Amino acid sequence: MKVETGLRARKKARTRRALVEGALRLFTQKGYEQTTLAEIAASADVSTRTFFSYFAGKEDVVFFDADDRLREALAMIGGRLPGESVAALLARVVEAGARWEDDLTGRLATERFHLMMAVPALQARALHLLFDSQRRLAEALCSAYPDEVDPVTAAAAVGSLVGAAKLAAVMSLTRGETPEQAWTAARRAAEIAAGGLQSLGRTP
């Protein structure tokens, strides 16, 4: 896993970033579907055809950092602290995800939220990515706790936590709340999920 450093690699990185920035700017300016690939490519001074050697499709530009984030989460699970419980580990992973910062990510996070809420195609892509991530996280969890966690348990743990958090966050945003409130809702939902549902529906 060596870090590329040649001229070629630097140029690629610059173009990639130009594509992301241009695309996100255009998307928020004129709307996602109103923006054509030709315009995005033009904004980064490459041909339309070249766009596809950087991203597999129009939607993927928006999730340019998904790979890195997943990689980080997987690394955290792989390097779990000895004696740490599954719940505690997953809590750490979620927390790290919430804090993720990055030149682009930080600056564009809010716009991306709005885009995702507004554009069905992006919602679908987001869910798909998130789901694939869950699958890989669950697998990693199995490997990290080979004696204690079987595949179904791992799926239950990851799916339940992420499922609860995601739904709570989106519903919060749909209700018109701020991204901060959404994060709070997500954490609370994750806690509820972690604690189990048995007690719900009878006033405590």
Partner DNA sequence: CCAAGATACTGCACTGATTGAAACTTTGCA
Partner DNA sequence: TGCAAAGTTTCAATCAGTGCAGTATCTTGG
- By CB under 7 A, the count of residues binding DNA is 24
Q: Which span sits near DNA by CB under 7 A: 11-19, 20-28, 104-112, 149-157?
A: 11-19
Member of 40, 119, 149, 173 binding a copy of itself (CB under 8 A): 149
Q: Is 159 exposed, middle or buried (0-12, 13-18, 19+ CB in 10 A)?
A: middle
Binding partner of 185, given a copy of itself, DNA, none, CB within 5-8 angstroms per partner class:
a copy of itself
The whole-angstrom separation of Cα 148 and Cα 169 is: 30
From the list 48-56, 76-84, 129-137, 176-184, the region that binds DNA by CB under 7 A is: 48-56
- Distance CA(202)–CA(48), nearest Å, equals 58
Q: Which 56-115 positions form the footprint of a copy of itself (CB under 8 A)?
A: 84-90
Helix axes 86-99, 66-78, angle to 10 degrees: 150
Residue 2 found at the interface with DNA (CB under 7 A): no
Nearer to a copy of itself, 26 or 165 (CB): 165
Closest CA to 29 of 17, 18, 40: 40
